[in-house]
Structure 1
C-alpha cells in the first residue's frame, strides 16, 4: 500500500489529537519536564525506546510515556509501535477510548490490516458522540477503502466526513486532497451517479466533471471553473483549483505531424518490423500525421539519437523489443520528447517521464480478465493448465497472486511438459486415476466383469488453458473424456494463445464450447472497419497470427497519439482499438480489455461475459463477521 507522506500523516493525527475531550498529547515541554523529573540524564528516545521505557514504569509516569511513544510513532510512521502504545493505553481509565481506537484503526490500516481496521471502526459506530470523532471515523473508513483502490466506497465516507467538518467547522487534514484523488479515479458515468446529496458533495462532483469534460481546453475549463466558484462560494474544493486543476490547463492533446518509429528492420525480428510498418502506414490514411520516419531499433543509442535529431520528430513510437526499450532510457532525445513504447519496463523507477507511455500486448491482461469473469460467475475452484515453461509459470503465478486478493481457495494448477504427459496431468488433477484404481480394486474383489465408469472430482468448476493453439487442441479431448458423465460439464476457457486464424481454417471442431479472449482484429465481425479488414486480407493474405496482431498494434499506436493524454488523465476513458478497449490505469501503462469469443457449431461467435469488478476478500470477511454479530 502507498503510505501518505510523513507531513500529511502528522497533520492527520494532529487533527485527531485536537478532538474535543481528547487528552493533550505530550509536547516538547512535557518531554523536557519528564526528563528532568527522572533520575536518569535527559535522553532522546525513539518510539520504540519510549514504549519500552513506559513498560518499566507505573501510574501517571507510564501513561505520560505512552503518550510520548504514541506521538513519536506517528512522527516516525512506526505503525506497529503506535498500535502497541494504543493497546497499552486501552486499559487506562483516564484515556479517551474512542480516540485511542481511532489511532489503532489508523495503525492497522497503514499496516495493510484492512479487515481488522474496518472491524474496529464498525465497533465504534454506536459510541461516536463528538462531531470530531464522527468526522475522523468517516475519514478513516474512507481511507481504508481508498488504500484498496475502491474509490466509490471511499467517497461515500469521505463525503460524510466533509459534511460533518463543514457543519461543525472542523479541519480534517488531508481530506480534500483524498476526495479529489478518489474522484479522479471515477468514470464520467460513476461521477454522474454521485452528483446528488449535499451541497458539499455536489460541488465536489461537479468540479470533477468539469475537469474531465474540459481537460485540455484551456479557455472552456477556465470559464467552467469561474462559474463553479461563483456557484459554490466557500466550498472546500476551492483549495484544489490552484494546485490540481489549473496545472492541467496546458494538457492539450498531442498535435503532431512528424513522428519517428523505432522498429526492427534487420535480423530475426525483421518480419515483425514489417508487420508493424504496414500497420503504421495503414493508420496514416485517417491520421493527421504528415511525415513518418522509420529507424532501426537495433542501432546503438548514439546512432538512434542522431537519426531522431535529423528527423526532428515531435513524437516517437517504439521500440518493440523490451531490451531496446531498456537501452533507450539513456537517450538524450527521448528525455525531452513524448514517446509511446511498444513494450514495457519491469523497473517502476524507470517509468518516471510523464510524457512516456507503454503499450505492450501483455498476456497478463488476459489472465486478469479471465480471473475477473471467474469471480463474477462465482467459481470457487478453477483449474489452470499451462506449459512447463518460464512464460507458463509466470502467467500462473500472476493469476494466483491476483486470485488470492479475492478468494480463500487456491486454484488447482497443472503444468505439462509435452503432448505425451498431457493426459497424465489432466487425469491426476481431476483425480480420475484414483477413480480407476477404486474400480480395479472392486473388480479384483468380485473376480468378474463389472459395468463401471470413472468419476472425476466435483469441486472443479472452471478450467483455464494457457497453452498455444496446438496444445489447446490436444488438451481439449483429454478434458472431455476425463470429466465424469455424472457431473455437469465444466466450462472451458483459454487465452488468445489458443486461437490461430491459420489453424482454424482447417480445424476448429474439437474446440466446441471453448471460450477465449482475443484482440478484436483477429475475430470475425469484431471490428467496425470491415473495409480495413478486407484491404488487409487482400494485401497480406498469408500473414501469420503474430504479424496480424502487430499490424493491429501499430494501427492503434498511431491513432492513440491525440488521445493518450486524455486516457492518462481521465479514469474510465477508453479508446476502442483493434487490439481491444484501451485504458491507462497507472504508470502510463496501457491496459487492454479483449473481446470474448466462443467456438460454437464449428464457427466462432462473439459473446458478452460477466466482467463485474470483484469484491476484495477482506471486505467479504468483514461482512461475514458483521452478519455473525447481529
Structure 2
C-alpha cells in the first residue's frame, strides 16, 4: 500500500513538473504554466524539485496563480524567492511581466516599465503568442498610466495581429482612444506604417472643425489608406460621427438676462458669442440663425421652451442665472438640448443638459494637476474666508489627495493686517522663535538665532484676488518662505497691465485663459478693438461667449468622442461624464513685472 502511494506521489510530481514547462524546450528555456494544482502544492513540489530551474518554474507558477486569484501580496512574496538573474530568457520574460502586473496593481507604472526594461524582453517575439499578448498588454497599460500615450498605442498596434474576436475589437477601439487623446501638436510620424496610419487619421479628424468637415476628412483618409485596420473597421466613435453629421444645427436660442445684476456679465458673453458668429459668416460658413430671449423677463421656463420649440430652435444657449440652471438640472428631461452658462450644485441632470462656466473649482483642480506634474507632493493653501474660499479649497484638496498628495495646512485669509501672523503660523515660525528663547533661558546668555520655517511644505496653493496676492507674496519673503513655490488660480491676475503691481508677485505661477495670454489671436484682437474692456479681466467672459458659440454645434460630437477636445479661448475644452465642460488652462508666471507664458505639461 505504501509502495502504491509512493508511486502515485511520484507520478503526481512528474505530472506537475511536466505541466510547469513548455515543450519542446528551446534555447530560451521554458515558460511556466499554471497547472491544475494549488499554490501550496506548487510550493511544496518546488522544495523537492531536482533542479533549481524546475524549482524556479514551479514558484513562478505559484506566484502567477496567486496573482490570478487576486492576491497580489502573496504573489509578490513568492516572486521575491525566485532569482531572476539565474533564470533562462523565457522565464525572465515571464517573471518581468508578472512583476510589471503586480506594480500596476499598486498603481506604480514607472516600476512596471522598469521591470519591462529587462534585457530578456528582446526575445519576446520568439515566445508563444499568449506570452507576447500578456506582456504587450501590461506594457501598454503601464505606458498609458505613465502618460506615454503614443508608446501605449504602439504596443497595442504591435500585438494586434495576434488577437482575434472580441479581444481584437477591444484592442482596436483602445488604439483609437489612445491616439485620439493625444494633442494634435504631439502627433508625429513614428516610422511604424500602421501606427502612422492611426496618427494621420487622428490628425485628419482633429484638423477639421465642423462635423461635415470631419466626415469628409475621414472619407478622404479611408480612400488614401484602404488596407489600414481603421479603414477596414472604422472605430465606433467615428461611426457615430456619421449620425451626428446628418443632423446639422440651423437655429439657436440665446437665453441671457438683459436687466438686473448679471446684465453686464451677459453683455460680455453675448458680444463674444456674436463675434464668433460673425467670424463664421465672414469665413463663408453657413452659421445657424440666432434668436435672442431675455431670461430676466421669464415668467415660466416651460413657456420659454414652448415658444422656442414652436420657432424651430434646436439648441438653447443659456440661461446664466444659477436658480434657472438649478431648475433645469432638477428636471428628468428637457424638450430641447441646452448649454447652460453656469453650473448647478448637483452633478446629475437630464441627458439634454450641458453646463459651461468659468468655475473656480476647475482652476483649483488645474493647480493640483500642474503641481503633481511638476513632481510635488506636499501642499499648503491660502484662500479667502467664506463660502467661496471653502468651495475652492475643497475642490483642490479632493483632487490633490485623490492622487496621492498631502495637504499640510490651510489659512483662510481676510484682513491684510493679519497676514504676517497667519503665514508665521502656517510655517511654524513662532515655534522656531520659541525654541530660541527657551535655549537662551537655559544657557543664560543671548543666543543669535534666525527663525527657521518648517521644511515639509513644497508649495502653496493660492486662490485670492490681486489685492491680497500683492501682499501675500512679499509677506512670504519677509517670513523666510520666499523660496516656496506659489501656484495660483487666475484670480491673482487683474490683467491691468500695471507692471508695479506684478513686481509684488514675482515668481508666482498662475493658470489663465488663452484669451488673456495669447494676444495674437485674430478674433480676440478684433473684439478688443471694438470693446476695449475685453483686454482686461472681462476678457474671460468674452472668451467664454466665443467658446459657447463654438461648442454649440459640437456638443453631440464631444459626447460621442469623449477624448476629443477643442482649443478654445477660455481653455482647452472637453466634456466630462456628467456633461459639464471642463477647461484645461495654460500657465504663466510673473517675472520682473512681466507675464511670461510657461511650457505646457503632459497630462
Q: TM-score scaled by structure 2?
A: 0.69
Q: 1:106 to 1:465 in 2, by over 3 A?
A: closer
Which of 498, 510, 515 is the matching residue for 2:509?
515
Please say if residues 279 and 555 of structure 1, whose CA atoms lie closer than 8 Å, have aligned partners that are also in contact: yes
How far the C-alpha of 1:373 sits from its partner, in A, is 4.0
Mapping 1:90-489, distance limit 5 Å: 125=121, 129-146=127-144, 151-165=149-163, 172=168, 174-194=170-190, 196-197=191-192, 199-212=193-206, 216-217=212-213, 218-219=215-216, 221-229=218-226, 232=227, 236-237=229-230, 240-241=233-234, 243-252=236-245, 256=249, 258-265=251-258, 268-287=261-280, 288-296=287-295, 299-329=299-329, 334-335=334-335, 337-344=336-343, 349-350=348-349, 352-353=351-352, 357-379=354-376, 381-404=378-401, 410-416=406-412, 418-419=414-415, 421-445=418-442, 452-483=449-480, 489=483
Matched, 1:492 2:478: no
Mapping 1:39-54, distance limit 5 Å: none
1:309-343 Cα shifts (integer Å, max 9, x gaps): 244323211122444334224779944x4432213
Q: 1:83 to 1:513 in 2, by over 3 A?
A: closer
Please say if residues 575 and 583 of structure 1, whose CA atoms lie closer than 8 Å, have aligned partners that are also in contact: no
Mapping 1:503-582, distance limit 5 Å: 510-521=504-515, 525=519, 528=522, 529-537=524-532, 545=537, 549-561=540-552, 569=561, 571=563, 574-577=566-569, 579-582=570-573
SS at match of 2:469: helix
Please say if residues 173 and 235 of structure 2, whose CA atoms lie closer than 8 Å, have aligned partners that are also in contact: no
How far the C-alpha of 1:267 sits from its partner, in A, is 5.4
1:381-411 Cα shifts (integer Å, max 9, x gaps): 443212344443443343344445766x624
CA distance in 2 between partners of 1:186 and 1:596 (Å): 19
Please say if residues 379 and 457 of structure 2, whose CA atoms lie closer than 8 Å, have aligned partners that are also in contact: yes
Please say if residues 463 and 489 of structure 2, whose CA atoms lie closer than 8 Å, have aligned partners that are also in contact: yes
CA distance in 2 between partners of 1:497 and 1:170 (Å): 49
CA distance in 1 between partners of 2:496 and 2:381 (Å): 25
SS at match of 2:382: strand
Length, aligned pairs only: 530
Please say if residues 260 and 295 of structure 1, whose CA atoms lie closer than 8 Å, have aligned partners that are also in contact: no
How far the C-alpha of 1:415 sits from its partner, in A, is 1.9
CA distance in 1 between partners of 2:241 and 2:518 (Å): 41
Please say if residues 462 and 488 of structure 2, whose CA atoms lie closer than 8 Å, have aligned partners that are also in contact: yes
How far the C-alpha of 1:590 sits from its partner, in A, is 3.1
1:264-323 Cα shifts (integer Å, max 9, x gaps): 456554554344344445555434454321241765432231232244323211122444
CA distance in 2 between partners of 1:200 and 1:283 (Å): 38
Which of 610, 617, 620 is the matching residue for 2:599?
610
How far the C-alpha of 1:533 sits from its partner, in A, is 1.8
1:326-376 Cα shifts (integer Å, max 9, x gaps): 4224779944x44322134566653745xx543221223333443444345
1:455-490 Cα shifts (integer Å, max 9, x gaps): 333454433321223332342342121016xxx733
How far the C-alpha of 1:175 sits from its partner, in A, is 2.0
Gaps of 5+ in 2: 1-21, 24-30, 46-66, 80-89, 281-286
1:125-163 Cα shifts (integer Å, max 9, x gaps): 589632221123212332455467753242132123125
1:15-58 Cα shifts (integer Å, max 9, x gaps): xxxx99998999xxxxxxxxxxxxxxxxxxxxxxxx9xx99xx9
Gaps of 5+ in 1: 1-18, 27-50, 60-78, 615-630
CA distance in 2 between partners of 1:591 and 1:101 (Å): 39
CA distance in 2 between partners of 1:309 and 1:385 (Å): 48
CA distance in 2 between partners of 1:515 and 1:84 (Å): 41
Q: 1:251 to 1:327 in 2, by over 3 A?
A: same
CA distance in 1 between partners of 2:34 and 2:264 (Å): 72
How far the C-alpha of 1:572 sits from its partner, in A, is 6.5
Please say if residues 377 and 610 of structure 1, whose CA atoms lie closer than 8 Å, have aligned partners that are also in contact: no
Please say if residues 319 and 325 of structure 2, whose CA atoms lie closer than 8 Å, have aligned partners that are also in contact: yes
CA distance in 1 between partners of 2:35 and 2:324 (Å): 55
Please say if residues 372 and 612 of structure 1, whose CA atoms lie closer than 8 Å, have aligned partners that are also in contact: no
1:411-467 Cα shifts (integer Å, max 9, x gaps): 433222532543332102222112221332344456666655323334544333212
Q: 1:174 to 1:509 in 2, by over 3 A?
A: closer
What do you get for the CA RMSD once the two structures are aligned? 5.1
How far the C-alpha of 1:102 sits from its partner, in A, is 7.7
CA distance in 1 between partners of 2:194 and 2:437 (Å): 73
Q: Identify which of structures 1 and 2 has the higher relative contact order when contacts are C-alpha pairs closer than 8 Å and 6+ apart.
A: 1
1:573-628 Cα shifts (integer Å, max 9, x gaps): 54342x24445576654333445444455x4x3312133226xxxxxxxxxxxxxx
CA distance in 1 between partners of 2:545 and 2:551 (Å): 10
